[in-house]
Amino acid sequence: MNCFMFPGQPLSRSPRLPQDDGWRQIAELCRRHALFDPDSWQWFAVDGTENVALQVYGVAMSLHGARLLKKRGVKPGIVAEHSMGIYPAMALCGSLPEEAVLEITSRGGRAMATMGKSRQYALGCVVGLTLEPLLALAKNHGVYLANRNTDRHFLLAGEELPMEAAMAEALFAGAFSSGTFPCDAPLHTPLMAEVEQKLRTVFADYRYRDPVAPLMNHIDQTYLTGCDLGEFLYRELLLPVQWERTYRALLDAGATNFCEVSGKESLKKYNRWIDSQLQGN
Amino acid sequence: MSEELIEPVKQLIIDALRIEGMTSSDIETDAPLFGEGLGLDSIDALQLVVAMEKEYGVVVPDAATGAKVFQSVRSMAAHIAEHGK
């Protein structure tokens, strides 16, 4: 069974964008509905940040990837999402049209980015530590677990200075690598409650249809319905992404062929690690 | 000794990272493994750490050592030749 996996926000843009008609159509939808031009990398008439630009770009790339798969006749038996991947996943599943998905990504992203006007936040990628020492050092520094991608690949989020201290401690504690990335808002942490009202206002403006394919959520691995989606879009921003659990649940559900619907292979790499751990046990 | 390990190390990279459509002859011995070269990242690096330990009993104890070991296929082979069991 095919599983289409939608990854979260990319940390950088590709130096080469697609050149086909499908991309030209997606880029036009971006300009009209997200008020962002992924080709010239410019915002129109709104105060968008680099982070929100990356969010819109990531969604646009996934929408383009989904169109290519559709054109090739590849259909999903199940759909999974990681973080911001929920937005293009909703489009693939028919819960929202592509233009609404681009618009909600842009509006939601800009609402989240207001957090970055009063404080500086960062994400921190830690590879190699296990969960227990990672949670201990996160607690020490007042930062939060944002992604549990495998038993050795994690993302923390919080204010910039404590994050840098946490990353240094992670290396000292034996992490294979650690590094921070600036961000507008500490996604997947309780700190996101600061913009609850703004986000709920955005998410309430859309009517979500039931997904036409089973859409597994990354929090508790249940299948989302149209009624769940508005609340899920807010709730997922407060809780860590549980990718390892999701991948295992997808395997248990019968998924055998995993297609990452974007230009990158981050989720495939996590799956590869999880597979190697499963085979070793 | 490390020259003999060049081909097996290339195969280890292909197998451990499940690189499709590539053979050992496609991997340059002295090209950087990260960034401009083979384009690996920290997720790949940890996978290679585990594969090297499993295949050759070689440990990469910390990030600083990893940065040196994973410069190229040749540096990986040299590390295995020096520390392998």
Task: Give the model's pLDDT for residue B2.
Answer: 75
- Pairwise CA distance, residues A29 & A257, whole Å: 30
Let me know if B4 is exposed, middle or buried by CB neighbors in 10 A (0-12, 13-18, 19+).
Answer: exposed
Q: What domain range includes position A153?
A: 117-183
- Asked if A273 is an interface residue toward chain B (Cβ–Cβ < 8 A), one would say yes
- Looking at the fold, whether A93 and A17 belong to one and the same domain comes out as yes
Same domain, A93 and A194: yes
User: Cβ–Cβ of B62/A174 closer than 8 Å?
Assistant: yes
Mark yes or no for CB contact B43/A127 under 8 Å.
yes
Q: Are residues A50 and A129 in the same domain?
A: no
Architecture of the domain defined by B2-83: Orthogonal Bundle (1.10)
Query: β-strands A241-242, A144-148: how paired?
Result: parallel
A258 touches B at CB < 8 Å: no
Q: Are A182 and A120 in contact (CB under 8 A)?
A: yes
Q: Collapsing DSSP states into helix, strand and coil, what is residue A124? A: strand
Residues A105 and A135 in one domain: no
Do the Cβ atoms of A257 and A1 come closer than 8 Å? yes
CATH number where A205 lies:
3.40.366.10
Q: Are residues A105 and A151 in the same domain?
A: no
Size of interface A-B (CB pairs under 8 A): 40
Look at residue B45 in the predicted model and tell me its pLDDT.
Answer: 87
Nearest CA in chain A to B49: A176
Same domain, A123 and A253: no
A176–B50 CB contact, under 8 Å = no
Q: Looking at A140, A160, A183, which one is the last position of a domain?
A: A183
The residue of B42, B60, B68 whose CB has the most chain A CBs within 10 angstroms, and thus the best one to mutate to test that interface, is: B42
Domain boundary among A152, A183, A214: A183
User: Is the ipTM above a cut-off of 0.95?
Assistant: no
Last residue of a domain, one of A156, A183, A210: A183
Restricting to A residues 173-212, those with a Cβ less than 8 Å away from any Cβ of B are 174-178
Nearest-angstrom CA–CA distance, A25 and A179: 36
Would you call A95 helix, strand, or coil by DSSP?
coil
State residue B40's pLDDT score: 83
Residue B82's Cβ-count burial label (10 Å; 0-12, 13-18, 19+) is exposed
Separation in Å, CA of A152 to nearest CA in chain B: 9
Give the chain B residue nearest A150 (alpha carbons): B43
Q: Are residues A102 and A225 in the same domain?
A: yes
Residues A105 and A127 placed together within one structural domain of the fold: no
Q: Which of A171, A174, A273 sits opposite B43 (nearest CB)?
A: A273
* pLDDT at residue B1, rounded to an integer: 60
In a shared domain, residues A155 and A210: no
Q: Are residues A88 and A33 in the same domain?
A: yes
What pLDDT score was predicted for residue A62? 96
Q: Are residues A107 and A121 in the same domain?
A: no
What CATH number has the domain bearing residue A122?
A: 3.30.70.250
| Number of domains chain A is built from | 2
Task: Please list the ranges in chain A whose pLDDT falls under 50.
Answer: none
Q: Which of A128, A171, A266 sits opposite B46 (nearest CB)?
A: A128
| pLDDT tens digits for range B29-74 | 988 888 766 778 888 888 999 899 888 999 888 888 888 898 899 9
Would you call A266 an interface residue with chain B, using a CB distance cutoff of 8 Å?
yes
Where in chain B are the domains? 2-83
Residue in chain A lying closest to B62 (CA): A176
Chain B CB within 8 Å of residue A276 CB: yes
* C-alpha closest to that of A152 among A265, A258, A259, A276: A276
The token duo for A65 is 């990837």
Q: Which two tokens stand for residue A49?
A: 């940040």
Spatial CA neighbour of A99 closest among A129, A140, A63: A63
The confidence score (pLDDT) of residue B38 equals 75
**Are residues A73 and A101 both part of a single domain?**
yes
| Segment (H or E) for A59 | helix A50-71
Contact B80, B4 (CB under 8 A): no
Chain B nearest-CA residue for A176: B63
Please give the C-alpha separations between residue A195 and each of A37, A112, A116, in angstroms, as whole numbers: 26, 7, 11
